[in-house]
Amino acid sequence: MTDQPAENEGPIVPFLRIGPPPDRTRWEGWQQWRRIRDTFIPAPRLSLRQYTDLSPRRRGLHDLHRTATHVNMRLQETPMSMRVSGLMRGRLQNNALKVEPGTRDGLMVNGGGFQGKTETACSAAAAFEDLWRAVQRQRLPEQPQDPGTRDVFVPVAYCRLPVRATPKALCKTILDVYGDPHPNNLDGLIRSVRDAVRDHETTALLIDDVTRLRLHRGDDQDTLDLIRELMDLNVTLVLIGVDIPHSGLLRGAYIDPRTKQWVFPDVKRGKSHNEAASTQTERRFDMVDLDPFGYTTPAGISAFLDHLAGIEEQLRLFRSFDGMLTTGEMPEYLFRRTHGIVGLLRRLVEDGCTEAITSGEERLTPELLARTSIRLGNLADLDPDAGEIPEIPQDIKPPQQPQKKSKRPRNTVFDDRGDRPAADG
């Protein structure tokens, strides 16, 4: 049988995005993402009966929409992400509102791989931008937004440090956000970055995967100096990375016992690219950790259960039931499979749902998930040397089924199994 175009059945795939996902590291892509970020429409909830009454084609499309729903689950607030995004939004706003020129306190977002650093930081920055644009609209009623225009308003610039970053590479990455050309030499590049940040009125510069710097080479020290100097551009620098404290990024820095901030003394290498830097005495960063869920305190467990309930509510499986993810052995099993890391949990649930649909089981059980391995997709995009690939727990057996069906399994959620301590509350 061949697939016939069936225009007569109308357009019924509103959930499909046309073209590749937006590239947030270019201003146009960031704008596109910022606008569509909360607009995905999940599949309608159909009963099995309603589903079987559909035509085969409609059923296929509904399955596609269900799958799209499972792979586009929304970002949920967690106590850990709320702490990071609250601090970040507060910092971005305060700094943006400061009138006098000068160094702005920066922010470092630290956490293990796949714990949601990128998504949490981007969504906090986008929320800030929504607000900031609304305020600025009164000032800039008609904004030119054509690519190539010098004065495009780019309040938030997001970029990712390339693997083995050099100062030149960092400058080019930043210039690429604006689509600006790359001058040939380092001084020209740095000047262009400073001009771009100023001309596009950027108030927040996010540098993701900052721990890709290898700080034992001369190049890397230059990059580090450059990053610190970027803080003098009236911009709030947000550095995001895995295990920042052990990355060498804090070399020469100390913690101010009064404010608990990291303080970088002035760059004393006599090679500062920024004349203004000579008038600066120090640059300050707050460090905020994005931790995984914990399973050792009632507050930690209850946050994990809330998160699972939020996931369950988004699933479209015909044999799911209330408490499918939050009762019985399931929460503990999910915790052991993922160590409470949101990104791993998401992958496990996504792949589990695919299996539940293809096998016709249409519900998630520990036994089904035991057949599902956690795949991290495009690993080529990650830098294992920078700790970006989390350790995935292996060989986690599903809980033993009780011999007699009548005996209800004891709820072991609150048992302390001595799993590794992590964020609680």
Ligand X SMILES: Nc1ncnc2c1ncn2[C@@H]1O[C@H](COP(=O)(O)OP(=O)(O)OP(=O)(O)O)[C@@H](O)[C@H]1O
| Chain positions contacting ligand X, by CB under 6 A | 75-76, 78, 81, 111, 113-120, 242, 342-343, 346, 382, 388
Query: Shortest CA distance to 323 belongs to which of 279, 376, 365?
Result: 365
The residue with tokens 């001084």 is 187
Q: Out of ligand X, Mg ion, none, which partner does residue 177 contact, by CB within 5 to 8 A per kind? A: none
> Which of 86/102 has CB closer to ligand X?
86
C-beta of 315: minimal distance to ligand X in Å?
Answer: 13
Residue 117 C-beta: closest distance to ligand X, Å: 3
- Of all residues in the shown chain, the one whose CB is closest to Mg ion is 118
Q: Which does 333 bind (CB under 5 to 8 A by kind): ligand X, Mg ion, none?
A: none
For the CB of residue 347, give the shortest distance to ligand X in the complex, in Å.
7
Partner whose footprint covers residue 192, from ligand X, Mg ion, none (CB < 5 to 8 Å by kind): none
Please say whether the dihedral angle defined by the alpha carbons of residues 384, 385, 388 and 393, taken in this order, is positive or negative: positive
Nearer to ligand X, 140 or 379 (CB): 379
In the complex, the smallest distance separating the C-beta of residue 346 from ligand X, rounded to whole angstroms, is: 5
Note whether 22 and 30 are within 8 A (CB): yes
- Residue number with the shortest CB distance to ligand X? 116
Is the CB of residue 258 less than 8 Å from the CB of residue 81?
Answer: no
Where would I find the H helices in 360-398? 366-370
Closest CA to 221 of 174, 165, 176: 165
Which of residues 118 and 234 has its CB atom nearest to Mg ion in the complex? Answer: 118
Q: Which is nearer to ligand X, 113 or 300 (CB)?
A: 113
Spatial neighbors of 363 by CB under 8 A, at least 6 apart, are 317, 318, 319, 320, 321, 324, 356
Nearer to ligand X among residue 154 and residue 382 (C-beta): 382
CA distance linking residue 75 with residue 164, whole number of Å: 30
Choice between 274 and 338, CB closer to Mg ion = 338
118 binds Mg ion (CB under 5 A): yes
119 binds, among Mg ion, ligand X, none (CB under 5 to 8 A by kind): ligand X
Q: Where are the beta strands (DSSP E) in 362-411?
A: none
Give percent helix, percent strand, percent coil of the chain, each to the nearest 5. 45, 10, 50
Chain residues that interact with Mg ion, rule: CB under 5 A: 118
